[in-house]
């Protein structure tokens, strides 16, 4: 290890210690999150300016920063499955019956399909409005290699028919899904947990004593898991600092400037979709300003981590404790929103790519038949898109191959993928939260006193003895 790398690590340790001191002084959690974000941007920019890109010193330094950043994301993923299982089972046991479960699922799935369709339409409008075209993008060595990689992957995607995609949601091996082995593992865990919960509801009528024992066990497990969630989420500012430093320090700004038009068009579409989310919140009688205040910390983490699945514990915590949504609605919205109807990755991105690539094969991207087919394909193809880095590429492959468009051209954007993926992930999570809140309001499952209260999440987050 060189002295330069050691110096970089020591500076990071110093920044982490400063955040720790803020925590010990009971600085509000939200404020610490944004301070960590600012520190990460500032320190990453300094490293970028001092060492340039690419740099061996920068690469080695980032690998050490990953211990904190990727380590935190790993801890979040560690608690996703137990959190979803005990929360879904616990929530179902509190429901009036299995019919309520069907109503919750119906509302959430319907809203996810509506929002991803709107996101696709906005992506199309943005790509056309900015005049984006794959023909104007220069292909280099990295882009060509990425295109070849996508071609080798598309064979697996082409074999996925719509019926097969729907069948893949069924947890034929729930224990395998508990390992996160499939892109649809989270939904598999939700479905399996729902079966357990409904079975216990039925057991109440025949063997109430046995059902009572199980309920108490779930209650204890739920309390323990939520305690672990609280412990892990307290580390959020530290994870954001390391992740943001990595993103800024490891970015190639020369490549970004060459594709700046696509970056601007993408973020214009992402902002427009976020505005749609706020309009939906307003339509159900809630303040969009209050909504933004409550969800900013979770969107900040989603932005820096680029992982909808990793953000899920924070998403559920935000829905229940800050927005006042019931546990049942919160868990189903967060779980389904991680793998179905992702507004950023499965909506905007495939739509923009399809519009850009269509002219290369003689298709008019402004024709109503093309646009209609594209939106329907995106909505259906959004089922089972993994909520981790690379999910957007998988969604794009599904859509492009279904429309007969050359998938290798998607590799032209590899240099700006991380930058775009940050915004896409934040919009994915915003879509899941909006779906949960709007569904909850429609079914009377939102405590508006909690929503309107200015009491923040920090009190719970810092209440660890």
Q: Residue 374 belongs to a domain with what CATH number?
A: 1.10.3860.10
CA distance 309 to 53: 30
Sign of the C-alpha dihedral, residues 92, 97, 100, 106?
A: positive
Domain count, the chain: 1
Start-to-end Cα distance in the chain: 38
Residue 420 lies in a domain: yes
Spatial CB neighbours of 308, under 8 Å, sequence gap ≥ 6: 302, 337, 338, 342, 345, 387, 388, 391, 425, 428, 429, 432
Residue closest to 134 by CA, chosen among 368, 407, 398, 387? 407
pLDDT at 446: 92
311 inside domain: yes
Cβ(73)–Cβ(301) under 8 Å? Answer: no
> Are the CB atoms for 276 and 118 separated by under 8 Å?
yes
- C-alpha–C-alpha distance, residues 209 and 10, integer Å: 58
Task: Kindly state whether residue 382 falls inside one of the protein's structural domains.
Answer: yes
pLDDT at 431: 94
In a domain, residue 461? The reply is no
Tell me, yes or no, whether 463 lies in a domain: no
Q: Look at residue 60 in the predicted model and tell me its pLDDT.
A: 92
Of 308, 272, 262, the residue nearest 121 (C-alpha): 272
Q: Is 416 part of any domain?
A: yes
Q: How far is CA 113 from CA 110, 116, 157, 263, in A?
A: 5, 5, 21, 25
DSSP 8-class letter at 318: I
Closest CA to 332 of 22, 168, 100, 44: 100
Model pLDDT, residue 162: 59
My answer on whether omega of the bond before 54 falls inside 30° of 0, hence cis, is yes
Confirm whether 55 is domain-assigned. Answer: yes
User: Whole domain around residue 102: which residue ranges?
Assistant: 3-453
Q: For the chain, which ranges sit under pLDDT 70?
A: 95-99, 135-166, 183-184, 254-256, 258, 384-391, 408-415, 455-465
């Amino acid at each position: 290890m060189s002295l330069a790398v050691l110096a970089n690590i020591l500076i990071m340790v110093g920044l982490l210690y400063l955040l720790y001191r803020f925590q010990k002084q009971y600085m509000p959690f939200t404020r610490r999150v944004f301070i960590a974000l600012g520190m990460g941007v500032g320190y990453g920019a300094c490293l970028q300016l001092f060492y340039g890109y690419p740099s061996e010193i920068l690469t080695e330094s980032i690998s050490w920063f990953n211990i904190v950043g990727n380590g935190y994301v790993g801890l979040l993923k560690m608690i996703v499955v137990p959190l979803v299982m005990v929360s879904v089972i616990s929530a179902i046991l509190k429901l009036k019956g299995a019919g309520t479960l069907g109503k919750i699922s119906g509302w959430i799935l319907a809203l996810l399909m509506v929002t991803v369709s709107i996101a696709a339409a906005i992506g199309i409008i943005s790509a056309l409005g900015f005049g984006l075209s794959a023909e104007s993008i220069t292909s280099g060595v990295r882009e060509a290699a990425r295109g070849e990689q996508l071609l080798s992957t598309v064979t697996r995607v082409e074999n996925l028919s719509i019926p097969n995609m729907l069948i893949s949601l069924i947890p034929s091996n729930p224990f395998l899904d508990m390992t996160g082995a499939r892109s649809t593992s989270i939904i598999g865990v939700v479905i399996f947990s729902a079966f357990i919960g409904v079975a216990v509801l039925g057991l109440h009528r025949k063997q109430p004593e046995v059902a009572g024992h199980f309920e108490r066990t779930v209650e204890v497990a739920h309390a323990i898991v939520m305690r672990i969630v609280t412990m892990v989420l307290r580390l959020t500012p530290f994870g954001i600092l390391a992740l943001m430093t990595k993103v800024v320090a490891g970015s190639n700004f020369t490549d970004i400037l060459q594709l700046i038009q696509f970056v601007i068009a993408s973020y214009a579409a992402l902002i427009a979709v976020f505005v749609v989310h706020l309009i939906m919140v307003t339509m159900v009688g809630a303040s969009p300003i209050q909504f933004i205040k409550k969800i900013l910390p979770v969107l900040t983490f989603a932005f820096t981590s680029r992982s909808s699945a990793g953000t899920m514990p924070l998403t559920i915590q935000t829905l229940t404790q800050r927005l006042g949504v019931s546990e049942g609605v919160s868990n189903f919205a967060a779980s389904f929103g991680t793998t179905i109807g992702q507004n950023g990755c499965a909506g905007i991105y495939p739509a923009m790519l399809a519009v850009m690539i269509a002219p290369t094969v003689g298709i008019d991207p402004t024709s109503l038949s093309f646009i209609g087919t594209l939106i329907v394909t995106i909505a259906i193809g959004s089922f089972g898109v993994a909520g981790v880095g690379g999910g957007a590429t998988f969604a794009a492959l599904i859509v492009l191959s279904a429309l007969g468009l050359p998938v290798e051209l998607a590799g032209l954007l590899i240099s700006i993928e991380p930058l775009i993926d940050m915004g896409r992930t934040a919009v994915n999570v915003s879509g899941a939260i909006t779906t949960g809140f709007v569904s909850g309001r429609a079914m009377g499952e939102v405590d508006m006193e909690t929503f309107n209260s200015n009491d923040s999440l920090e009190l719970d987050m810092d209440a660890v003895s």
